[in-house]
With several copies, the nearest count.
Chain A
Amino acid sequence: MRTLKYWQAINEATVQCMEADPNIFVAGIGVDDFKGIFGTTRGALERFGRERVHDIPNCENAFAGVTIGAAAMGKRPLVVHPRNDFMFLATDMLFNLAAKWRYMFGNKGGVPVVTRAIVGRGWGQGATHSQSTHATFAHFPGLYVATPASPADAKGLLVSALTGSTPVIILENRALYELEGEVPEAAEPIPFGKGRIVRAGTDVTIVGASLMAYEAARAADILADQGISAEVIDPRSIRPLDEEIILESVRKTGHLVVADTSWATYGFSAEVAAVVAEKALGSLRAPVRRVTIPDCPAPVSKPLEDAFHPSPASIARACLDVLRSDVAIGREVADVQAAFYGPY
């Protein structure tokens, strides 16, 4: 199969979906400029022009509402935020209106607004530009939250979002944008709520969404050097969450490490741990371990930033801990962002 980069997969899915459905339009700050949101909206602009790719004023709150009202008329808006941190300004619309629309108006129809938002990573983007808001959004029934970790998933989940009937938030980690992988040519949907086994293993289960699925796979490489077989699970969407794939893995390995790009407390890692404590407790042969960013805002300074983010090494170390193994990890692996210097 031919390969694409993560951003190219998004670009391609957007164009293909827009070809198939004239109701889809792309909108957001700067979607039509020469950078084209790191290339992801460039194809749509070239193919469909500004009739269907709309730059907008700076108005996150109203614009979320605007897309809801357009969706209520049958349009299929695809909103893009260059940083997901800006979406806090739109939480009222997403939580109080989009998520609740179908239910509180009597199940007559939904407003399937699709919002893509990029999680900043690298080059000291700092406290207000590198949060991962996935758990915050995923707490609310009525929304779906997808966290594609591969080019194929970036395409397939976007296709599902643009053809489904539910508001979806797709969070894309900036650090994944240059990742290359096999991507089907056709616009095939990947369903929400269906995780994937990134790498099969038998000793310990590592669950990681978005960038952490990638870093967990690199951790599994390190562990393999030491003869330890880690199974890496990428849930692909965190709402709905594929509990079964996680539980099945834990039932097999008896050990669970959850890696996450956001804080532990009340985050994604808490939910995964809770699901296992509820539904596979008897299989756990050791306490669960969470590997996440620590309880502070994202710092800018490079040494602090490096220490702040979970790395393949810190995930691998957590696995060794959980396995009560006294092997040391054999090698450090460069930070995913080591060579990154923009555009940010």
Chain B
Amino acid sequence: MTTTERPHTAIADGALPPASAALELVRAMMRIRTVEETLADLYKEQEMRTPTHFSIGQEAVAVGVSGALRPTDVAYSGHRCHAHYLAKGGDLRGMVAELYGRETGCARGRGGSVHLNAPEVGFIAASAILGETMAAAAGSAWSFAMDRSPRIAVSYFGDGVVEEGIFHETLNFAVVKQVPLLLICENNLYSTHTPLEVRQPSGTTIWERVRSYQLPSVIVDGNDVFAVLAAAEEGAAWCREGKGPYFIECSTYRWREHVGPNWDYDAGYRTKAEVDSWIAKDPVKRAQAAVVAAGYCGDEQIITWSAELQQEIAEAVAYAKASPFPSVETLLDGTY
């Protein structure tokens, strides 16, 4: 086994996938962005009574990774799971209804924003305790290895999880048992309001440290959906070939507050300049510009999609609002 190194890949490199694939990625990112911005606006109505961690600004990771997955592959996430759920094919209406606490929610209103799931499309579970699902994903991957199946499991987690013991135990286990686990670290530089520098050793980076576990570990520009896709394809192939786990660190950034729908320019834990510099690297806009520049589509396509997506989310919200709340008689259902 060797470890490979991958430089930040810029769109300027021109490494675009074929038109249909590229366009699909752009539309998928736009969809997630539209959904989350709409929900963030509506959140202020106080009808979504569930603490919500928006992925706005981080869409390229989920979309790029999902582009490398098959429907039979499985994915797990943490508290910031909307994008992962949607990109893997989770039902939009089920997600919105879940945030509205309705019986038609993907977790029937029991789970809330941090416990999305859509096992029918391989999005097995998201959970709010840091790192839990990393181990669960390794377990699913182990079961695939036991069955000599070509399926793989994906674990999405943040840079904050890297400090938890479970991160270490899971990596060690996954390497020792050589399970097909694609590890996706979304490094958005913060855990709640604490920057990376005061939480992890300086002078090195996550992907570099991970190489010590003897698995391939690479870093990509997590705001470049095509770069993420390329890395994920390499990683997925590695896992599928039975070579064991594969680690990808994606550099990205959360635009809004840690939890909740607001901007937090004035909270003081990060500078406005820093936030703005990342907004300037908007993964959605960059990808849109790239496909237009490549001649894959024109601006009007983007505008059409935008309108379609607004429509789709509006319908999903209407559906959710019209859906019934769970009946109190069913309070205990599903405990056993």
The answer to whether A and B come from one shared complex is yes
Please pick, from B108, B112, B132, the residue contacting A96 in the complex, using a CB distance under 8 A. B132
Please pick, from A34, A142, A300, the residue contacting B267 in the complex, using a CB distance under 8 A. A34
On chain B, the residues within 8 Å of A73 by CB distance are 74, 139-140, 143-144
CB pair A65 B146 closer than 8 Å: no
Please pick, from A72, A85, A303, A342, the residue contacting B139 in the complex, using a CB distance under 8 A. A72
Interface size on A, residues (CB 8 A): 74
Stretch in contact with the other chain, from A53-61, A152-160, A209-217? A53-61
Provided the pairs A56-B173, A65-B132, A65-B135 are in contact, do residues A107 and B199 lie with their beta carbons within 8 angstroms?
A: no
Please pick, from B51, B127, B170, B193, the residue contacting A33 in the complex, using a CB distance under 8 A. B193
CB pair A127 B170 closer than 8 Å: no
CB pair A96 B129 closer than 8 Å: yes
Query: CB-nearest residue of chain B relative to A32?
Result: B194
CB pair B176 A57 closer than 8 Å: yes
Asked whether any CB of chain B lies closer than 8 Å to the CB of A102, the reply is yes
On chain B, the residues within 8 Å of A101 by CB distance are 125
Provided the pairs A75-B146, A105-B125, A123-B49 are in contact, do residues A58 and B191 lie with their beta carbons within 8 angstroms?
A: yes
Closest Cβ of chain A: how far from B258's Cβ, in Å?
10
Please pick, from B115, B125, B173, B260, the residue contacting A342 in the complex, using a CB distance under 8 A. B260
Query: CB-nearest residue of chain A relative to B194?
Result: A55
Please pick, from A33, A68, A75, A97, the residue contacting B269 in the complex, using a CB distance under 8 A. A33
Cα A144 to Cα B331 in complex, Å, equals 19
CB pair B200 A304 closer than 8 Å: no
List A residues 215-261 near B (Cβ within 8 Å).
Answer: none
Please pick, from B119, B124, B259, B334, the residue contacting A103 in the complex, using a CB distance under 8 A. B334
On chain B, the residues within 8 Å of A59 by CB distance are 163-165, 169-170, 172-173
Please pick, from B49, B136, B169, B334, the residue contacting A300 in the complex, using a CB distance under 8 A. B49
Interface centre among A106, A294, A295, A304 (most CB of B within 10 A): A106
Asked whether any CB of chain A lies closer than 8 Å to the CB of B102, the reply is yes
Please pick, from B51, B117, B153, B260, the residue contacting A124 in the complex, using a CB distance under 8 A. B51
Interface of A is mostly: loop
- Binary interface encoding of chain B residues 92-132 relative to chain A, with 1 for a CB under 8 A from any of its CBs, else 0: 00000000011101111111101101010000110111101
Asked whether any CB of chain B lies closer than 8 Å to the CB of A49, the reply is no
Provided the pairs A57-B163, A294-B332, A341-B46 are in contact, do residues A69 and B110 lie with their beta carbons within 8 angstroms?
A: no
Please pick, from A29, A77, A307, the residue contacting B331 in the complex, using a CB distance under 8 A. A307
CB pair A62 B166 closer than 8 Å: yes
Kindly state the interface size class of chain B when it binds its partner.
35 or more
Cα A57 to Cα B158 in complex, Å, equals 13
Provided the pairs A59-B165, A62-B173, A96-B129 are in contact, do residues A126 and B50 lie with their beta carbons within 8 angstroms?
A: yes
- Binary interface encoding of chain A residues 295-331 relative to chain B, with 1 for a CB under 8 A from any of its CBs, else 0: 1110111111101100000000000000000000000
Asked whether any CB of chain A lies closer than 8 Å to the CB of B284, the reply is no
Cα A126 to Cα B166 in complex, Å, equals 22
Query: CB-nearest residue of chain B relative to A110?
Result: B336
- Binary interface encoding of chain B residues 292-317 relative to chain A, with 1 for a CB under 8 A from any of its CBs, else 0: 00000000000000000000000000
Provided the pairs A59-B165, A72-B125 are in contact, do residues A301 and B326 lie with their beta carbons within 8 angstroms?
A: yes
CB pair B50 A123 closer than 8 Å: yes
List B residues 30-80 near A (Cβ within 8 Å).
Answer: 46, 49-51, 74, 76
Cα A142 to Cα B333 in complex, Å, equals 11
Asked whether any CB of chain A lies closer than 8 Å to the CB of B268, the reply is yes
Closest Cβ of chain A: how far from B139's Cβ, in Å?
3
Cα A35 to Cα B259 in complex, Å, equals 12
Cα A295 to Cα B333 in complex, Å, equals 10
Asked whether any CB of chain B lies closer than 8 Å to the CB of A202, the reply is no
- Binary interface encoding of chain A residues 156-176 relative to chain B, with 1 for a CB under 8 A from any of its CBs, else 0: 000000000110000000000
CB pair A57 B51 closer than 8 Å: no
Asked whether any CB of chain B lies closer than 8 Å to the CB of A344, the reply is yes
CB pair B153 A128 closer than 8 Å: no
Query: CB-nearest residue of chain B relative to A65?
Result: B135
Cα A308 to Cα B335 in complex, Å, equals 13
On chain A, the residues within 8 Å of B191 by CB distance are 29, 58
Asked whether any CB of chain B lies closer than 8 Å to the CB of A38, the reply is no
Provided the pairs A301-B102, A304-B109 are in contact, do residues A64 and B143 lie with their beta carbons within 8 angstroms?
A: no
Interface centre among A63, A107, A304, A341 (most CB of B within 10 A): A304
Asked whether any CB of chain A lies closer than 8 Å to the CB of B137, the reply is yes
Closest Cβ of chain B: how far from A262's Cβ, in Å?
15
Please pick, from A85, A106, A294, the residue contacting B108 in the complex, using a CB distance under 8 A. A106
CB pair A58 B117 closer than 8 Å: no
Query: CB-nearest residue of chain A relative to B106?
Result: A106
- Binary interface encoding of chain B residues 189-200 relative to chain A, with 1 for a CB under 8 A from any of its CBs, else 0: 001111000111
Cα A300 to Cα B49 in complex, Å, equals 8
CB pair A65 B136 closer than 8 Å: yes
Interface pairs (27), CB distance under 8 Å? A29-B191, A29-B192, A33-B192, A51-B146, A57-B173, A58-B160, A58-B163, A65-B138, A66-B135, A68-B135, A69-B135, A69-B141, A69-B142, A72-B136, A73-B144, A93-B135, A102-B336, A104-B107, A105-B110, A105-B115, A106-B106, A126-B112, A296-B331, A302-B325, A304-B109, A304-B328, A341-B46
Given A65-B166, A106-B110, A108-B117, 16 additional A-B pairs, CB 8 A: A29-B192, A34-B268, A62-B173, A66-B138, A69-B139, A89-B164, A97-B129, A105-B110, A105-B111, A106-B334, A123-B49, A128-B128, A295-B332, A296-B332, A299-B331, A342-B51
Sort A-B residue pairs by CB-CB distance and give the 6 closest, nearest first.
Answer: A65-B135, A69-B139, A107-B334, A301-B109, A62-B169, A69-B136
